[in-house]
Structure 1
Amino acid sequence: MNTISSIALSGAHAASTRLDVAAHNIANAQTPGFQRQVVHQQSQETAGVMTSMGKVDEVGADLAADLVAQMEASYNYKANLKTIQTQDQMVGSILDVKA
C-alpha cells in the first residue's frame, strides 16, 4: 500500500475510534460513577497516526465535549476518505495516460 493510502487509512481508523469513544461516553453519561474515555493520537514516524484509549481522572459526563468530538471525528473521517478517493482517481488517470 502506498504512503497516501496508509496515512489516510490510519486517519480514518483514528476518526472511527474517536466516534466510538464519544458514542460510548454519551450512552453511559447517566451511569453512576462513570469515567469518560478519551482517545490519544500520536503521529507515527513512518506515516499516519497511532491511537490509544484512556480514562479521565474525574467522574462524570461532559456531553458538550463528546458532541463536539463526534462532529470533529465525522469531518476527519470524511476528509480521509476523500483523500483515498482522490488518490485512486489520480492513479487511474496515470494508468489511462500510460495505457
Structure 2
Amino acid sequence: MSLSIPSGTSATATAISGMRAAQRNLDTSAHNVANLQTPGFKRQTAEQMAQPGLGGVSTALRQAPDASGDGFAHLADDLVEQRMSLYSFAANLKTVETEDQMLGTLLDTRA
C-alpha cells in the first residue's frame, strides 16, 4: 500500500501515518498466522513509535522473543491484532474523510 503523506502536521498527515501503521500491523500478524507451522519460523511484531514534532507514528518490525517455541500459543493474539488493525485503519480513514469534508465546506464559495 502506498499512501503519500502531506507535509505538515495536519489531521490528514497524522491519520495517513496511522493507516500505514495499521496496515503494517495487519501484514505482520497475517505473516505470523500464515507461517505458523513453518519449521524454525520466528514470529514478528510491529512496534509503533510516536513521531514528536512531525505528528503520527512510525512502525518498525522486530523478531518476537518466543520462549515457548509453540506458534499456536500466539494465534489468538495475532487474530486479535488483525481485528484491532482493521478498526484502527477504519478510524484513521474516517479522520481523512472528515477533514476532506470540512475543507470542502470551507472552500465552497456557494454554500
Q: Please classify the TM superposition score into its range, dividing by the shorter chain length.
A: over 0.9
Which structure 1 residue ranges, 5 or more long, are not aligned? none
Aligned equivalent of 2:63: 55
Aligned equivalent of 1:85: 97
Residue 55 of structure 1: how far off its partner (Å): 0.7
Percent sequence identity over aligned pairs: 44
CA shift in 2, pair 1:88/1:64, >3 Å: same
Residue 24, structure 1, aligned to residue 31, structure 2: yes
Which structure 2 residue ranges, 5 or more long, are not aligned? 1-5
RMSD of aligned residue pairs (Cα, Å): 1.5
For these two proteins, the number of residue pairs brought into alignment is 99
Aligned equivalent of 2:45: 38
Q: Which has the higher contact order (CA 8 A, sep 6+)?
A: 1
Aligned partners of 1:7 and 1:48 also within 8 Å: yes
Q: What stretches of structure 1 move > 6 A for 4+ residues in a row?
A: none
Q: Select 1:72's aligned residue among 84, 88, 104.
A: 84
Give the TM-score normalised by structure 1.
0.93
Give the TM-score normalised by structure 2.
0.84
Distance 2:82 2:59 in 1: 16
Aligned partners of 1:36 and 1:60 also within 8 Å: no
Distance 1:47 1:23 in 2: 27
Secondary structure, aligned partner of 1:21 = helix
Higher share of residues assigned helix: 1
Q: Select 2:12's aligned residue among 5, 16, 23.
A: 5
Residue 44 of structure 1: how far off its partner (Å): 0.4
Residue 94, structure 1, aligned to residue 102, structure 2: no
